[in-house]
Amino acid sequence: MFRYLALSLCLVIPTLSPAQTVTIGIGDTNRVALSFENGQFGGALARLYQCAMDSAGLEYRVNFFPQVRILHMLEKGEIDLGLPLAKLAERDEYAVFTLPLLETRFHLFTRQDIDPQSDLSGYTFSVLRASASARVAASHNANFVEVASWIQALSLARLGRFDGALIPAPIVADIGEDQLDGLKRIDFGSIPVSIYVSRKIDNTEELVTRLNAAIKECVP
C-alpha cells in the first residue's frame, strides 16, 4: 500500500525543471552600456540585465559579436538571446522581444539647429551599422549612412561630412567630452530596449515566459 501511495505522490507533485544553459550574444560596440566579466554583467545597464537573468534562473554563456552578426545569429538560431537590443519591427520577424527592461533615449549630435519635428528628408545622419539609430533616423524621415563605430559617427558629424550623429544615451554617457566638443545635443525620442529570443530554437516560448516573469520582478 505504501508503495502505491509513494508512486501516486510522485505523479501528482510537479518536478522543477533544471536550470537551463542559454547562449547570449552581446554587441561588442555596446560594452560601455553592457559588458560581462568573471560571471557578472557590468556597465550602465548591468543591474537590470543581471537581475533578469538571475531571477529567470538561467545558466548562460556570453559571447561578444558585432551587432549585425548577433541579429544574423538570432535569425538562424545560432544563439538563444541577443542583448541589449531595441525593439524593431524587422527584428520581430525572427525573434521574440521580451517585456521592456528600459526605454533608451536617442540623441542627435550636430553642428546645426535641427528641429526633430520638422521635415528632415534633406538631412543625412551617421549611425552605427545595424543599430536602432538607423530606424530612429528613418522614423523622422531622415537619410542615414551606417558606419563602423560610434566614435566614427561623431567624427564625421563634427567634420561636417554628415548633418549629425544619432547615438543612444547609454553610449553617450561614456563618450569623452572632447569627442562631443562643438556639437549640439538634440533629443530624438526613445525606444523600448530589452532581450530578443530567437524564434529558431526549440524552447522559445519557455524562455520568453521565464524572462518576462523575471523582468516583472526587476523593473519597478
Alpha helices in 13-102 (DSSP H): 46-55, 67-76, 89-92
Distance CA 62, CA 11 (A): 37
What is the structure's pLDDT at 18?
Answer: 52
Domain spans in the chain, listed from the N-terminal domain onward: 17-100+193-218, 103-192
Is 17-100+193-218's fold the same as 103-192's? yes
What is the structure's pLDDT at 11?
Answer: 37
Nearest to 70 by CA among 49, 85, 88, 89: 85
pLDDT more than 90, % of the chain: 76
Sign of CA dihedral 59, 196, 71, 133: negative
Kindly report the CATH number that applies to the domain delimited by 103-192. Answer: 3.40.190.10
pTM of the predicted protein model:
0.82
What is the structure's pLDDT at 14?
Answer: 30
The ranges of the chain with pLDDT < 70 are 1-20
What is the structure's pLDDT at 47?
Answer: 96
pLDDT tens by residue, 131-144: 899 999 999 999 99
* CATH superfamily of domain region 17-100+193-218: Periplasmic binding protein-like II (3.40.190.10)
What is the structure's pLDDT at 175?
Answer: 84
